[in-house]
Structure 1
Amino acid sequence: MNGTPVALHLPPEALQYLEHVRVEKRLAARTLTLYTLDLQRLAAMAAGVDLPLLRLTSAHIRRFVAQMHAGGRSGRGIALILSGWRGFYTWAARQGLVPHNPVQDVRAPKAPKPLPKALPVDEAVRLSEHQETGADPWLEARDAAIVELLYGCGLRVGELVGLDVAPSPAAHQQGRGWVDLQAGEAHVFGKGSKRRSVPVGRAAAAAL
């Protein structure tokens, strides 16, 4: 294959696929190298279970995904590898070499979501004390109450905007939260419509 990276230990069908994508898709040399490396990885794993590429099933692909994940490869990296494998089997299915694509319904592990960073105390104080000269006093009061509730009660923005200022039958029926100033609590609905109660401090109560 002229211009194609050396593809060691690959079966004929994999070499045919690489030639196909090189000619039909006119891939850049770097991209073609990545395709080749992905297929070499797949061929090595297939050899580990003593099966040719065209005999692998979805169960084998899922096992390979688990092995890569346990080896420290990221979910994003695995997703890119699966994309390369999926393309090969899509081509193989069109050629009548496999009855279906074993990678079609296999997904990479989800990447962990980083926890949000808390606002430092000194910045929170500056935010709560910030005032706009000449601003509407009502809006200033509203914004102060928002900041005090968010920071003082540890609320998410979605929980805050779903709060009523007092308990009511409508709040219960519509799945909204409410503030009970007499009890010093805010009843909020979070993720999964789960209700939780959080204390409302004196600063937040005064701002409200």
Structure 2
Amino acid sequence: MFLERFFNYLQYEKRYSQHTLTAYKNDLLQFENFLTEFESDFLTVNHQQIRTWMITLLDDGIEARSVNRKISTLRAFYKFLVKEEILAINPVLKVQAPKVAKKLPAFVEEAKLITLLDSASVFESGFVGVRDKLILELLFGTGIRLSELLGLTISAIDLNSQTIKVLGKRNKERIVPINHSLVNQIKDYLRERLVVITDTNMTSFIVTEKGEQAYAKLIYRIVHRYLSLVTTQDKKSPHLLRHSYATSLLNHGADINAIKELLGHASLAATQVYTHNSIERIKTIYKQAHPKA
């Protein structure tokens, strides 16, 4: 079946994450259901039907950004079918995705995060409090993604060189520095971790109270709980701390190419979006400080 071959290609050759694979599967299932209205299928569809699907999604209130992602799924899918000679013509080639207004990445103000993380009363004593604080410190102090945090192993932590080895998108490794304060917090956490670990073969760095590997929903709950104390942002997610990390580095004069490497971006274009936040901050300072602003 060509669908199974496509997903094997994404998983084993392109090395896409499970999250991305699930998104692709959902997009294709939704598109397949839509095609039944035309008594069509993946192999008989034409570009007019794809355009109609796109317009229907927009009319249903789906954001242009989300529609673009679905069209990207179709592009990858039909490019694969043509490559495998299952189809002769790619029906997506004549489809132009809707334009998306540039959205600046949201972030939490540096001062608010520092106040939160330095508070002696916010985090409880014992394993849970130490772990929760470390999760926030790692996300804000290194800019790693949620999946990268969950993928950290004990062996990836090098306290002597003050670095962590991160496995990023498409299994690309990178080394990220950590500061002296974070080193001490990791030492505290490792001591507390010994108390809850029952499986001596557990290699995952971040674990639950039962000593099992941490999972995405747990990290989301932890981040949302503490960020609610300092921000009214709608999405209080781990990625918000990644944005905050990048924005703070730029505001303190870090070179954008260095930030690109630290974040594990494949291209500089992905990093440059953070410069807009930095420019907006400069404009605000100018308006507040200059007599003729």
The structure with the largest helix share of the pair is 2
Q: Where on the TM-score scale, by shorter chain, does this alignment land: which range?
A: 0.3 to 0.5
TM-score (norm 2): 0.35
TM-score (norm 1): 0.48
